[in-house]
């Protein structure tokens, strides 16, 4: 995922997850599984193309206490920078 159109804050991430081309519920399931492997405080960059992912990711992070540090929509992609919470 070294696309020059990626946001500058992408460089802050410790890990990345590419869910482009996948439809609900797959992006959320992959995010959930990846978060389980990360230590608290880890920054995870996620890119998705399914618009339903925006709602799913926001609700998931709110429910489990993971912060969304940054987000943007560009060129049909939804990009997030998550910080894994303490739970």
What order do you get walking across the sheet with 15-18 strand by strand? Answer: 15-18, 43-48, 77-83, 67-74
Residue in 16, 22, 24, 38 annotated catalytic: 24
Structure tokens at 29: 């399931």
24 is catalytic: yes
Residues 12 and 23: their CA atoms lie apart, in Å, by 27
Active-site amino acid positions: 24
């Amino acid at each position: 995922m070294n696309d020059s159109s990626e946001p500058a804050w992408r460089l802050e991430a410790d890990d990345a997850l590419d869910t482009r081309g996948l439809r609900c519920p797959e992006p959320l399931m992959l995010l959930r599984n990846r978060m389980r492997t990360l230590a608290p405080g880890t920054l995870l960059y996620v890119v998705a193309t399914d618009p339903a992912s925006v709602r799913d990711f926001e609700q998931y992070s709110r429910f489990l206490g993971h912060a969304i540090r940054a987000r943007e929509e560009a060129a049909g992609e939804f990009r997030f920078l998550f910080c894994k919470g303490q739970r």
